[in-house]
Amino acid sequence: LCKLLTCLPAAYPLGSHTPLLLAQFRPLLGGAEGRAGGTEAAEIQGLVGAHSRLLDLLLQRPVHSFRPMVEQASPLFVAACGLLHMLVEDEAGATPKKPGDARQLKTLLPLVTGCARLLERALDIVAQKKAFRAVIDVLPACTSLLAARRKACLAEHLSESTSRTGRDPECAEWAEAALSVQSLVGAIFDLRHLDGFKAMAAAETGGDENKVSKNQDATDEPSKKKAKKHVDLANSQATGLAYQSALFVELDKLLQDASTPPAGCAELLPLLLDKFVIAYRLAASQEEASKSFHSTRAAGTSSETAQLVRMPTEFWMFLKFWRALKPSLVQDSADSLARCLVKLWECVRAHGAYRPREDPHLQQSKTLDECCGLLLQRLESGKNVDSPEWDGLLEILRLDASPFETRLEAVWGAIGDARNSASGKEHNAASRFAVALLHTYAGLADLSSCLGGLIKALRKGTSTRTESFMSLTALWGGLESASAEVSMSSSASQICSSWELILRELKKSQKRAEPNGVSWASTLLGHLPSGIRPVELSLEPLRELLQRTFLVMSELESVSPGLRLSLCCLGRKLAAWDLPQLLKTDAEDSADAPDVSVQAAVGLEDLARQLAHWDLADVALTPEHVRASLQWLALTEDTQSHSTSAKPKRKKSHTDPVETIQLSRSQVAAVVLKIARSSAANGSKLLKNREIQLEARRAICAWLPLVTSVVATADETGCGGSSSSTARDSQTGKRKSKNAGESNLDLLVDLVVPEEHTCWLWLAHQWKLQASAGRHSDKSPADPGEMWNSVVNLWSSSTDAILEPEPLRGPVIKKLLGFLQKLLRETSQDLEAEHGKGNYMQEIEVLAGVLGGLQRLSAVPLQVLPEGLGIALLEELVRSVSLACRSCHISQAAGGPALSVDAVECQVLLTALACLSAVVSRIASDTSSLPSSMIEEVVRLFKADSNSALEVAKLLAGNALSMEAAMAVAECLATLVRGLLRLRFAGKTEAADRKEVWMVAERQTWAAQLVASLLAAHHGSNGKSKKLPRVLAKLEAEPSKGNQCVLNLPALQALLCSTGQHTKSEKRVALQLHLASLGRSLRLLLALLGQTGAG
């Protein structure tokens, strides 16, 4: 049949043959009826391909040639959807999965799409009511198709977050089938059916279309006829005779039928609502345009019409779906039903259908409140933190916050009582909703009400609820950002009222037993001030409230470090607004109350002392101690000794030995470094908490210039104790000499320059993405781990912070060069041992990362580095270039294709050449300020018979690199040569003191030899030339003429004869190719010889 159809003319009528053609699909119908029909799923694949081809040929013919009836097309679509659903269920339930199931699905999807198009063609030629009824009859099939699509896409390990937020999973194979179903469902809301829906909406929402029609112009006959039609439809809807009501009857059946997949209903209802809103607004815009064209009166001039306010028709359709869905939501706890409601509200919000001011009977706000209560009731029945109900509450919150005003305590209680999901993700749906709730009330300038509900939920909840809240790190981050929003956008009374509310609970917290000895009120109050951004109008209220809080803290038996750190940081922010001491008046200077800046300094010092003398302090160390220590170091940066004459009195029950110990900045920095560098707990309480070590590393990377300054100063003065034994020696009056081992600066360098290969692999990948602007999508290497995340992020985005502290520049480069030297030695051994096997690629990738780090440190002035370190830097870079050339030759010998510019070997070569060129160019520019020995060493390295520049030139002469890669390498080589040929004199700028280390004739001869090496043919075992540009074989270099390199270019006649072609056209094409190759070759030479001065 397929062959016959291709032979028939396009206009050939197939009307009499349509039943016979469509009868060919009966075997497929038998396969869809189930296993009892005798057709197994494995046998269906052979039938589907032929049927899809036949259906596609039929649909390619014009409508007057092939016009099926609805009774013929509808059973085919239902059968195809049933067959697809059956295969998806088989694939999902197969253990193990059958390898042919995926191929069967891919083959069947075009058939389903074709059946949908077939039904659409049949609907275009039938009566209005019949077309509507036909689409209603296939809604169950559409539901099964949508359910199968969702299950198949989720089975392909797509993102689960898209399914929880109400968005369809993206599956390219199902896109066309989904679009065809959407088009078919959209036929329900064709323009010829919309009048009935509008009349039903007018009858149910209390509108009077007849009353509106009387306000029209009496001579407007079309308006009178249309109004009469609306009245008739409204009356028929009242008696249940409107055919559009069949849609809602069918939806009720689908939702009540146990055999209907809930996932399909969850996809169908939002799709119907979206199609209705689009069609309704399109019809309304066309109607409005028609009125403005025919009428000469302005719209809305009648006062009676203006007074007629009715609920939006779009929201009326949502109400119909909500009433059909509500019984199932109450009785069934399936997530798919809740997801359906979430998508419906998302559609309402996306189209702006929620307009409560246009609702005189408040049906919209009542529905919103009812949905909020139902979702909250479902959450209280034991849902987890990733249930779709949280997304539903979030959609309601985005529309209006009023449903939550009387439910704040219940909402916070549900958040605290929600079960953790199996994924264990930190930022789950419940956390997202909690953060959005805080921000919403912050935007309403009513954050205190939201926190009041949270306090009531915590006060009345169990210890499990409290522990659950304490573990929600995203919630506390949201509280800090909400407090920042309130402090900057509203008056101080808003943030102060929230503060005082928590402060009252803090006073009561000592009477209650809290889990782990941590008060939830202390945690709340610890995060609220962290986000406050003081402004000029809020300084005095915040200062007075902070002083009262310090007074309350002095009366408490214990205060959490997080609370004290937060208040001290706020005190520092407020102190930044204070006048300098010289500008203060006598009244301000003699105030009895201690200043908040002094109290903040005392609090930070106490926390830093507890960390520095951890073995004497009877406290449990936390990450807040580390952060407080760095804050104290920043506070005392300008004044090395902090005056404590204005310290407030402390309430002590016994003598605290820690308070009598003198605290030094070097001790604090040494302990923080010890925590960050320790690799194991070693049984001490200092390192039992892994979070302390992570925080120490994050703090050091964030405050790297400050830590470097403190450590370098301590090492110079010889008083940088690195353990708590220094504190005991200072108590007994003993002095301890500096440890002969590693200094604290060495420990800091060991932290900043990791030797883990995973770190440099990750950095090489990140730098490659940055250089290519994200165009390359190579598989990302393994994450370096949370212990090194802060360090690699420092190298990736904040390299300037490493270069800023001058004492750190030399040691970091020295440590990185040592690691590079070790890596070059290991990689060279692997290249020799595994020649041609390709097992050395990981070492090459690590080498690319290390060279990338050196490239970012190449901006360091050479004058600040020791002379030996600068020479070692040059030597290691030269070795890196040589090793990169070797790896390129090995890749060529292995028989692989020419290396592209993105190849790892080429990237290593380009990076090493770029670093070497930068260093040589800086040496050439600063010859007068650099020692003569460094310039002489550079000349010696490159005057050798086998130097790195000649190796690169020989590599370019071969065919190991692609043309793009060769041009990039040639540009880097030209930059290197340009800098080298400027190295002539060394020493001072005066002519009498200058020393010529490289004669002009020697430099020109060296350049000529370099060009000769570039043009030298690289012959293989068969004696044939393997040079990259073909025409380079015709170029002859004569380096025997001293300091000149003569290039004998071939004549055009010789090029034409070498083509081996016979006809004129063939010779012309061959000549063009040869000339293009010659042009590329000469551009490569010009890139090398440009501005070098070589003859």
At 505-516, the pLDDT tens digits run 888 876 554 544
Question: Which of 131-145, 360-374, 479-493, 632-646 has the largest mean confidence?
Answer: 360-374
Q: Which residues contact 952 (CB under 8 A, 6 or more apart)?
A: 881, 885, 909, 913, 969, 973
155 pLDDT band, cuts 50/70/90, is low
| CA gyration radius, the chain | 40
Burial 469-483 (b: 16+ CB within 10 A, else e): bbebebbbbbbbebb
Q: Residue 1009's pLDDT is what?
A: 74
Name the β-bridge partners of 1048: 1036
* E strand or H helix at 688: none
CB atoms within 10 A of CB 573: 16
Q: Residue 632's pLDDT is what?
A: 92
Indicate the range of 10-14, 581-585, 773-777, 994-998 predicted with least confidence: 773-777
Cα 180 to Cα 315: distance, rounded to the nearest angstrom: 26
Q: Residue 165's pLDDT is what?
A: 38
Cα 20 to Cα 3: distance, rounded to the nearest angstrom: 16
Average pLDDT over residues 661-665: 77
Res 224 pLDDT > 60: no
Cα 61 to Cα 55: distance, rounded to the nearest angstrom: 10
Cα 1088 to Cα 967: distance, rounded to the nearest angstrom: 10
Indicate the range of 298-302, 407-411, 823-827, 1058-1062 predicted with least confidence: 298-302
Cα 393 to Cα 397: distance, rounded to the nearest angstrom: 6
Which of 87, 47, 65, 70 shows the shortest CA–CA distance to 11? 65
103 pLDDT band, cuts 50/70/90, is low
Region for residue 587 given its phi and psi (left: phi exceeds 0; alpha: psi -120 to 50; beta: otherwise): alpha
Q: Residue 128's pLDDT is what?
A: 82
Question: What amino acid occupies position 396?
Answer: I
Own/partner pairs, 291-296, CB within 8 angstroms, 24+ separation: 294/220, 294/222, 295/217, 295/220
Q: Residue 581's pLDDT is what?
A: 63
Kindly write down the DSSP assignment for every residue of 759-826, as one continuous string. HHHHHHHHHHHHHTTT---PPP-----HHHHHHHHHHHH-HHHHHSSHHHHHHHHHHHHHHHHHHHHH
Q: Residue 291's pLDDT is what?
A: 66
Do residues 1028 and 954 make contact, with C-beta atoms less than 8 angstroms apart?
no
Q: Residue 426's pLDDT is what?
A: 63
Q: Residue 437's pLDDT is what?
A: 95
Do residues 635 and 672 make contact, with C-beta atoms less than 8 angstroms apart?
no
How crowded is the C-beta side of 543, counted as CA atoms within 13 Å? 19
DSSP assigned state of 961: B
Res 647 pLDDT > 50: no
The helices-and-strands tally (H runs, E runs) of the chain is 50, 4
Q: Residue 341's pLDDT is what?
A: 93
Nearest-5° Cα angle at 826, 822 to 831: 145
Q: Which residues contact 733 (CB under 8 A, 6 or more apart)?
A: none
Res 912 pLDDT > 80: yes
Q: Residue 396's pLDDT is what?
A: 95
Res 401 pLDDT > 90: yes
Which of 397, 385, 292, 306 shows the shortest CA–CA distance to 345? 397
Q: Spell out where 246-319 has E strands.
A: none
Question: What amino acid occupies position 34?
Answer: G
Cα 444 to Cα 436: distance, rounded to the nearest angstrom: 12
Q: Residue 683's pLDDT is what?
A: 42
pTM, full prediction: 0.78
Tell me the pairing of strands 1046-1048 and 1036-1038.
antiparallel
Residue in the structure block whose two tokens are 């009048």:
195
For residue 426, count CB atoms less than 10 angstroms from its CB and return exposed for 0-12, middle for 13-18, buried for 19 or more: exposed
Res 552 pLDDT > 80: yes
- Comparing 791 with 956, which gets the higher pLDDT? 791
Res 265 pLDDT > 70: yes
Q: Is 727 helix (H, G, I), strand (E, B) or coil?
A: helix
Do residues 983 and 944 make contact, with C-beta atoms less than 8 angstroms apart?
no
687-722 pLDDT, tens digit each? 556 788 899 999 999 999 999 989 888 766 665 554
Q: Residue 122's pLDDT is what?
A: 84
- Comparing 781 with 269, which gets the higher pLDDT? 269
* E strand or H helix at 8: none
Q: Which residues contact 882 (CB under 8 A, 6 or more apart)?
A: 948, 951
Mean pLDDT over each residue of the chain, to the nearest integer: 75
Cα 379 to Cα 414: distance, rounded to the nearest angstrom: 6
Do residues 608 and 642 make contact, with C-beta atoms less than 8 angstroms apart?
no
- Helix, strand, coil percentages for the chain (3-state, nearest 5): 70, 0, 30
Chain centroid offset of residue 24 CA? 51
Q: Which residues contact 285 (CB under 8 A, 6 or more apart)?
A: none
Phi then psi dihedrals of residue 985, to 5 deg: -115, 155
Q: Residue 185's pLDDT is what?
A: 84
Omega of the bond leading into 388 within 30 degrees of 0 (cis): no
